[in-house]
Amino acid sequence: MAVELRPATALLVLGAVLLAGAVGSLVVTEAVGESTVEPTYLSLEDSNQQLWSYTSTGHAFDRATLAINAIVYGEPAGVRRQLLAGSRSTWNETDPDERDVATDPTAAVATGPTVQWDLATGSKRYAYVSEGTPGNGTWLTADYQVHDGTYLGSRHHVRAYTAPGGDGEWTAMQAHHEHWDWFMGRHVVTSVDKAQSHLEREFVAGPDDLEIRRIPTEGGQSPVDRWMTVVDFRELGVTVGSLLPVALLFAVSGRFQTGTRQLRERLPTADMRTLVLAAGIVAVTLSVRVLGIQLEGALATSPKMIAFGLYPVLFVGLPVVTYLLARPLDRSRAFAGASLGFVAAVLLDYSYLGVSHLSLSMLVYRGTLAVALGLIAAGSSRTERCDPEQVSHVRLGVLLWVVATVLPLLRHTPLPV
């Protein structure tokens, strides 16, 4: 017996999604709201300087974000050259137009719930180094940034800080793994330890006599904050200085067409059309991801300009494809095909990026988008078009889609003073 999707049912589903998000956010807020990051310091070798163990979004200890997780001793300019030219991965210096629009370290909340993680409002992160006694020091901006990966895909991103005025043979690094979130319009940090281990492997692949060790840190608020990588170049005397996804799609297309013909013979027409709806949503979502990465590598332009050009394909293309492909279906099949198709697209996208950890708020947000597309599909279904007295789900779905996709982008719009 088919289950009819009525307006009350749709509103109930929407309310459940929003309630889950509100409760999840409240739980996280209560867990972290009574605690701040204490100004714990790391004593730098052969120096009277002490380094605060976190970075911050401003010149304040209560605005801590991610922890410093690597210290490299040696001539700073030589360390920089070694990282760019002497490693086995493709590290590139991050240009200003490739730096974060805004990095959301939400995933760190899940791994360290006793830390007050502020949502970032920009790409600047500050480190603090004291001279002699804590409290008498200087806030530092990143001397340079490097990355291994793609801006519109996923990458290991490192911010490097050096002693003020060049007075010290050390480089402090904050390494994290992040990916570009098309719906949020910014990078989202999904791992710190993954990037730290990747950075370690780069130095392990360097000179044979290079000293690499891990040391515990005091005041670590999560397991990944309780140890730091230390690399020492000083004893060496070192003055250190693709179209594959597209081709893969073409290679698979022949098999997909053959499999589709066989599947069509076995499945009822309604089931087949439901699968076509889900596949259309998956195709649009993954095409934007793959095309963005390919254009980033092929065009000598800012990744942000590429993102700006591809946004309409995602934000307008997904609802339009959903509306058109859902027309032959009944209401319940249309809702299920669109919402589950979007969930499948999200899982495949994260798998392609190598993302394995997501925050509760991000899961709830993706669930809201899935419900929005489901409502649009239900509203365009054959069942609803044949019932002129039925309250249209399309309006509700479009409203939810516009609100859910536009609100995150407004964070990048400066408010009038």
Q: Is 118 in the same domain as 208?
A: yes
Q: Is 221 in the same domain as 255?
A: no
Residue at 135 is within a domain: yes
| Helices 7-32, 360-380: inter-axial angle, 10-degree rounding | 170
Taking the CA atoms of residue 201, residue 141, residue 215 and residue 80 in that order, the dihedral angle to the nearest 10 degrees is 40
The answer to whether the beta carbons of residues 68 and 195 sit under 8 Å apart is: no
Q: Is 190 in the same domain as 294?
A: no
Would you state the structure tokens that stand for residue 177, as one six-digit string? 């793994």
Q: Which of 210, 236, 262 represents a domain boundary (last residue)?
A: 236
* pTM for the model: 0.76
Would you state the structure tokens that stand for residue 343, as one six-digit string? 């969930």
Residue at 2 is within a domain: no
Q: Is 83 in the same domain as 181?
A: yes
Q: Is 67 in the same domain as 203?
A: yes
Q: Is 279 in the same domain as 206?
A: no
pLDDT of the chain along its 417 residues, tens only? 344 455 555 556 555 555 554 444 433 333 333 335 566 888 888 888 889 888 998 888 888 888 899 999 988 888 888 787 765 667 777 776 666 555 555 433 323 322 222 333 346 889 999 877 666 788 999 998 888 889 999 999 999 999 888 778 899 999 999 999 999 888 988 888 888 888 888 777 666 667 788 887 765 445 445 678 898 887 655 444 433 343 333 333 444 455 545 545 555 687 889 999 999 999 999 999 999 999 998 988 889 899 999 999 999 999 999 999 999 998 889 999 999 999 999 999 999 998 887 788 888 899 999 999 999 999 898 877 777 666 678 888 999 999 888 888 776 554 443
Residue at 1 is within a domain: no
Q: Is 130 in the same domain as 165?
A: yes
DSSP per residue, 61-122: GGGEEEEP-EEEES-HHHHHHHHHHSSSS--EEPPGGGS-S-EE-THHHHH-TTS-PPPPSS
Residue at 316 is within a domain: yes
Nearest to 222 by CA among 389, 25, 54: 54
Q: Which of 213, 236, 259 represents a domain boundary (last residue)?
A: 236
Q: Is 343 in the same domain as 381?
A: yes
Q: Which of 216, 236, 256 represents a domain boundary (last residue)?
A: 236
Q: Is 188 in the same domain as 229?
A: yes
Start-end of H helices in 205-243: none
Collect all residues with Cβ–Cβ distance below 8 Å to 257 and sequence separation of at least 6: none
Measured distance CA(56)–CA(138) in Å, rounded: 13
**CA angle (330 as vertex; 325, 334 as ends), nearest 5:** 45
Q: Is 250 in the same domain as 338?
A: yes
Nearest to 67 by CA among 105, 121, 34, 104: 105
Q: Is 266 in the same domain as 400?
A: yes
DSSP 416: P
Q: Which helix (H) or strand (E) holds 208?
A: none
Q: Which helix (H) or strand (E) holds 200?
A: helix 193-204
Measured distance CA(6)–CA(9) in Å, rounded: 5
Q: Range of 266's domain?
A: 7-26+243-412
The answer to whether the beta carbons of residues 194 and 175 sit under 8 Å apart is: no
Nearest to 354 by CA among 105, 146, 199, 150: 150
Q: Is 171 in the same domain as 119?
A: yes
Domains held by the chain: number:
2
Nearest to 177 by CA among 90, 77, 66: 66
Measured distance CA(417)–CA(396) in Å, rounded: 34
